[in-house]
Amino acid sequence: MDAAQIIQLLSGAALFLFGMKLMGDGLKSVAGNKLELILYRLSNTTLKGVLLGTGVTAVIQSSCATSVMVVGFVNSGMMKLRQAVSVILGAILGTSITGWVICLGYIDGGSGGKSGLAGLLSTATLTGIVAVVGIIMTVFIKNKTCGRVGMILMGFAVLMFGMSAMSGAVSGLGESEGFRAVLSSLSNPLLGVLVGFAATAVLQSASATVGIIQALSVTGTISVAAAIPLLLGVSVGAALPVLLSAVGAEVEGKRASLIYPIASAMSAAVCAAIFYIANAIFGFEFLDKAADPFLIAGINTVLRFGMVLSIMPFTKMIVSLVNKLVKEKAAPADEDAPVLEDMFITHPALAVEQSRTAINTMAKKAEEALNASFELIFNFTDEGFKRVERLEKTGDKYEDALGTYLVKLTGRDMTEHQNQDVSAFLHTLTDFERLSDHALNIAESAKELHDKNIRLSDKAVSELKVMVGAVSEIVHKATEAFVEGNREEADHVEPLEELIDDLCDELKSNHVERLQAGICTIDQGFVFNDLLTNFERVSDHCSNIAVAMIELRADEFDTHKYLDRVKEKHTPEFEATFNEYKEKYQV
């Protein structure tokens, strides 16, 4: 090959890769960015995981992209390792679909270079028509869906032109004796695997390497014996980009990144051993046959199907192996900040789901912190106080990480429902963080009672127990309403918040009477009032959370109108719920 042919080959490979990316992005857009979310949610069994991994990879045209996405799922805690194994196996199989798409470029329509109707059926002509239709839909039709379909067509056309350029660059190699000798040497299995591995490692794409092998096969110089080890090497080399995704990942993410190379290497070794042992026994005559692009695609699919079948029974063993290779780091769970993958920012459906998981965890930790602080009022321990401190710091970390992540997400193109979710998360994030702050304030008041040996009167203790019961319930209802999306629970928060306000006023009045009667002291009064203030603030934040949750579920909702309506207590439902709580929490 001269320099011009080498440049033509490289430019063809570049066009091929760019076209494949365009087509994959367009297919994802038409699917509504839901492929990744489906992948995350519906991989609870091995068979489902394999089928989903195959389907998603066939659409986005990249086993590497699917596998890297899975690493992100595992790293953020959204997917378990056992789920990741099955999805990655599906990705190994799904990437073989691209080989069949490439075969379309080698259908000549029987034209034989003639003009007329036969010429119109040639691949070159059809590719040109697809390109023209694609550019019209992308540039001239002002419709988002048409634009996305146009992108798919343009991607396909660019991919086909790239394949044509590569085929043209290598068309003369069939006459070269030196080239024939090199390809003949690739029938050595070990050498063939190494060449396939190296080529894929350089190109960072199994599909591109398979495309080049198909282009070379047109010269008639690649035998089936040479194609098999080349394709086995390609399947293993495709794992390298996935390993790079583990840089900076947590322990689980690093483990997930090892699944692809381990699964592909093990399954390729098993398939190679079975095939070459069978060849030694039966002597397959078809190995000397010259391969063409269609045969290359068929061999690639059969090999990858065999690899997946051979490794599927050993998914548990792979999980156990990666767990041993990457050791767990000991870290207190309460101090962990949420792992929010930046790679999901470009996939809003995933980013929103990841944010939901994180803020739900934050809500539960805030409730846990408050319950722990309530316990300290009546039974103070240093261990319990330290636990509340840890949970409060965790709340701060969640607020910082989620706040930064959600702000990044707001600049993305999202659906109306996704925008509502993000808005609700941003509105409630501070409220959940403030709940953990008030938990620490309550714990510090309890510590002051303990350290100064201040004893509240029996009546004050009795009143605090009633108040703690009411505040515990409103925290639970607000948290459950948000986490579970329970509108009924959210509707019960505002009446209870009104009752807690009334109880705080009543308890303060009662305490003033006890001070005047000499039953309580000034020191007791300071701590007692601090506790009541924090209780009232907690109920206010619970009200904010419930309102945001109700707003999220309503199509047309005005927060101020809602609060004005419920606080006027003109609705029978509000009155009934308020009276129910009033009877339940009497002092």
pLDDT tens column, 249-271: 788 888 999 999 999 999 999 99
Mark residue 55 as left, alpha or beta (left: phi above 0; alpha: psi -120 to 50; beta: remaining).
alpha
Q: Any idea of the CA torsion for 540, 546, 547, 549, to the nearest 10 degrees?
A: 150
SS3 track for 139-171: HHCCCHHHHHHHHHHHHHHHHHHHHHHHHHHHH
Statement to judge: residues 308 and 446 lie in one domain? no
Out of 275, 291, 325, a domain closes at: 325
Specify whether 311 is located in the same domain as 426.
no
Domain shared by 558 and 443, yes or no: yes
Assigned domain for 395 exists: yes
In a domain, 86, yes or no: yes
* Domain-ending residue, one of 298, 325, 352: 325
- Same domain assignment for residues 44 and 104: yes
Residue 1 confidence (pLDDT): 58
Gyration radius (Cα) of the chain, Å? 33
Question: How many Å apart are CA 89 and CA 39, to the nearest integer?
Answer: 13
Whether residue 332 is contained in a domain is answered as no
Q: Which two tokens stand for residue 160?
A: 């086909």
Whether the Cβ atoms of residue 285 and residue 214 lie closer than 8 Å to each other: no
Residues 419-474 have pLDDT tens digits of: 888 988 988 999 999 999 999 999 999 999 999 888 888 888 999 999 999 999 99
In whole angstroms, give the CA distance from residue 160 to residue 90: 26
Amino acid sitting at position 481: A
User: Taking the mean position of all CA atoms in its chain, how far away is CA 554?
Assistant: 27
Q: Is residue 331 part of a domain?
A: no
In a domain, 475, yes or no: yes
Beta bridge partners of 223: 290
Residue 551: what pLDDT? 67
**Three-state secondary-structure class, residue 290:** strand
Neighbouring C-alpha atoms within 13 Å toward the C-beta of 438: 27
The answer on 307 and 191 residing in a single domain is yes
Counting the structural domains of the chain, the total is 2
The token pair at 280 is: 């030694």
- Judgement on whether residues 10 and 149 belong to the same structural domain of the protein: yes
For residue 333, is it within any domain?
Answer: no
Instruction: Give the CA distances from residue 482 to residues 261, 431, 471, 476, 545, in Å, rounded to whole numbers and listed in that order.
Output: 40, 12, 17, 10, 7
Q: Among 295, 325, 355, which residue terminates a domain?
A: 325
- Are 432 and 475 a contacting pair, CB within 8 Å? no
Q: 427: domain range?
A: 340-584
CATH label of the domain that carries residue 356: 1.20.58.220
**Cβ atoms of residues 224 and 287 within 8 Å:** yes
Q: What are phi and psi of 256, to 5 degrees?
A: -65, -35
Q: Which tokens sit at 47?
A: 């068979």
- Looking at the fold, whether 311 and 371 belong to one and the same domain comes out as no
28 within some domain: yes
Decide if 87 contacts 44 (C-beta within 8 A).
no
Encode burial over 86-124: b for 16+ CB neighbours within 10 A, e otherwise.
Answer: bbbbbbbbbbbbbbebbbebbeebebeeeeeeeeeebbe
Q: With beta carbons less than 8 A apart as the criterion, state whether 160 and 105 touch.
A: yes
The count of C-alpha atoms lying within 13 angstroms of the C-alpha of 61, restricted to the half-sphere facing its C-beta, is 26
Residues forming a β-bridge with 290: 223
Alpha carbon separation from 444 to 54, 284, 381, 450, 530 (Å, rounded)? 55, 80, 12, 10, 10
For 249-270, the three-class secondary structure string (H helix, E strand, C coil) is CCHHHHHHHHHHHHHHHHHHHH
Using 70 as the pLDDT threshold, list the residues of the chain that sit under it: 1, 24, 27-44, 108-124, 167, 170-187, 248, 329-336, 551-570
Half-sphere exposure of 538 (CA within 13 A, CB side): 36
Reported as type and span, the H/E element at residue 313 is none
For 43-49, the CB contacts below 8 A with 24+ separation are 43/79, 43/83, 43/86, 43/87, 44/83, 45/86, 46/85, 46/86, 46/312, 46/315, 47/86, 48/86, 49/83, 49/85, 49/86, 49/87, 49/89, 49/90
The verdict on 369 and 319 lying in the same domain is no
Residue 86: predicted pLDDT = 92
DSSP state of 61: T
Which of 291, 198, 216, 238 is closest to 93 using CA atoms?
A: 238
pLDDT reported for residue 217: 87
Beta strands in 516-572 (DSSP E): none
Q: Kindly report the pTM of this predicted structure.
A: 0.67
d(CA 121, CA 109) in angstroms, rounded, equals: 5
- Number of Cα atoms under 13 Å in the Cβ half of residue 472: 13
Please check whether residues 313 and 454 belong to one and the same domain: no
Q: Does residue 354 share a domain with residue 244?
A: no
Residues 430 and 542 in one domain: yes
Is the torsion defined by CA of 354, 359, 360, 364 positive or negative? Answer: positive
The verdict on residue 330 lying in a domain is no
Alpha carbon distance 313, 389 (integer Å) = 46
* Co-location of 246 and 390 in the same domain: no
